[in-house]
Amino acid sequence: MATPRVILITGASAGIGRACAVGLSKAFPSAEHPEPLVLALMGRREDELKATGAACREGTVVEVLTGDVSSEADVARAFGTIKEKYGRLDLLFNNAGVNPLKGSALEDSDMDKFRKTLDINVMGAVLCTAAAVRLMKEQTPQGGRIVNNGSISASSPRPDSTSYTVSKHAILGLTRSTSLDGRKYHIAATQLDIGNALTDLSQGMGKGVPQADGSVRAEPLFDVNEVARTLAYLASLPRSVEVLHLEILALGMPYVGRG
């Protein structure tokens, strides 16, 4: 029996995480990649994770891992389950993230919420990356791929978004350090920066978003399933290839020359 391809998606209960889980289930196995697929779905809402699993292609093995990525104990339990049941991890998609201070000026920000943003967006990715590296170093064949959900904000922030922007700049550092330090273990790292994918949380952008000049303008959005197709592309690459940084954004969104 072929060794399964094991992929872990954090923040898999909705939005980009759910779309990517469903998209990967449709992309693998394939004629080019015939090995069976195991999708490990991590998030805090068990019912929603099960709903994501139910939406995946029939025959996909789905492992529901309820937990908070900012909790060391929850991350250790999730990765322990993957190691015990499957013995390997081929791809980690660090997707979990929050933005509770959207539209808040730094000087007026609730610092407890600021810390929460960093705990989930940064420390969640750090904890999962560390656990993934430990497993990828041990498995045979050694290595794997780690994809971090960045943001256009890692290059060009929106007004009044300091906590989220800081967190995504940190993800850029994590990605590059993982790429460098992972070389000797055959671990590749990618920062996938996403701009205006259409999810329940981003629908309002189509009506109006504050701009750097103080105006409010509607922004274009693109189908979130294109993010899933992009992740499937990264998952399909041979072990000898690394894509360090990739941006996918809605055509015409105010990013190039923004501000």
Least confident of 18-27, 88-97, 195-204, 238-247: 195-204
Strands 144-149 and 37-43: unpaired
User: Can you list the domains of the chain with their CATH numbers?
Assistant: 5-249 (3.40.50.720)
Paired strand residues for 188: 145
Per-residue burial over 193-224, b = 16 or more CB atoms within 10 Å of its CB, e = otherwise: bbbbbbbeebeebeeebeeeeeeeeebebbeb
pLDDT of 213 strictly over 60: yes
Strands 5-10 and 91-94: parallel
Residue of 86, 164, 185, 255 marked catalytic: 164
190 to each of 60, 72, 173, how far by Cα in Å? 25, 23, 11
d(CA 215, CA 210): 6
pLDDT of 257 strictly over 80: no
Active site residue 255: no
Closest listed residue to residue 44, CA positions, set 17, 65, 63, 62: 65
Q: Could you tell me what percentage of the chain is helix, strand and coil, using 3-state DSSP and rounding each to the nearest 5?
A: 45, 20, 35
Instruction: Name the band, by pLDDT with cuts 50, 70 and 90, for residue 215.
Output: very high
